[in-house]
Amino acid sequence: MAEACLQVRHLNAWYGQAQALFDVSLSVGEGEWVVLQGLNGAGKSSLLQALIGIGPKVEGHIEWSGQAIQSWSSHRRAQAGLGFVAEDRRLFSGLSVRENLWIAARGESKASMLRQLDRLLDLFPVLASMLDRPASHMSGGEQQMLAIARTLMTQPRLLLIDEPCEGIAPVLVQSLRDAFLQLRSEGLSMLVAEQNKLLAAHADRVVQMASGQLQEMA
């Protein structure tokens, strides 16, 4: 396994008095693609939210690139290279595809951000034909691609994605699989909560969750 960029040890999380995660320990290596599987309510979303610093109250240790980040704000974690795509996508529905992408752009210069935009349009070619279309006029699968591309515009080193294939057409699931394979080949680390077997079949590891705990790893 590649050297770990993310280390989670003995992580517990609560929503009010209800405990959502129980003593979770997990690592993600540099350039590794890990899939989280489990039924609804298993704790997958809670884990991703805890890692990015939103949602539940947490106790335990989260280490990113050798630094303990459990006390960091979500904004600081994003600046440090963690990118998060929520299950509800959180797009700006009244803005165009181009505007949704550009609002998240991060880079040393406008030229570098334009190169990143061109790269992502190659990765998700369906978006290239609808740059001026409002996000609200896209299908669910198109919106999912836009949500992922928008997060990639921040140039993260670790991508956290919650249920990217839920409710989208099989042909777009295949497009997402191809995009994830390309991203992994470029060295991006990914932790993806997903039930779809097509995606899981190509991951480096699959982690099973149930009742807020890790069950087994493959």
pLDDT in tens, 126-136: 999 999 999 99
Whether the model clears a pTM of 0.85, i.e. scores above it, the answer is: yes
Percentage of the residues of the chain whose pLDDT score is greater than 70:
98
Contact status, residue 190 vs residue 184, Cβ threshold 8 Å? yes
| Range in 9-18, 36-45, 107-116, 192-201 the model is least confident about | 107-116
pLDDT at 218 over 50: no
Residue 110, pLDDT score = 85
pLDDT of residue 44: 95
4-217: CATH topology is Rossmann fold (3.40.50)
The packing angle between helices 140-152 and 110-123, to 10°, is 150
Task: Place 17 in a pLDDT band, splitting at 50, 70 and 90.
Answer: very high
Q: Average pLDDT of the chain?
A: 91
**Backbone dihedral angles phi then psi of residue 4, each to the nearest 5 degrees:** -70, 130
Residue of higher predicted confidence among 89 and 53: 53
- So what's the pLDDT on residue 108? 73
Q: How confident is the model at residue 217 (pLDDT cuts 50, 70, 90)?
A: low
**What pLDDT, on a 0 to 100 scale, did the predictor assign at position 2?**
64
Name which of 134, 72, 126, 78 is nearest 104 in CA terms.
78
- Which pLDDT tens digit goes with each residue over 66-110? 999 999 999 999 999 999 998 887 888 899 999 999 988 887 788
Residue 207, strand partner residues: 36, 217
Report which of residues 171 and 34 the model is more confident about.
Answer: 34
Taking residues 30-34, report their average pLDDT. 95
pLDDT of residue 216: 58
Q: What is the pLDDT of residues 143-184, one digit of tens each?
A: 999 999 999 999 999 999 999 988 888 888 889 999 999 999
d(CA 177, CA 193): 14
Q: Taking the mean position of all CA atoms in its chain, how far away is CA 15? A: 21
CA–CA dist 115, 189 (Å, integer): 21
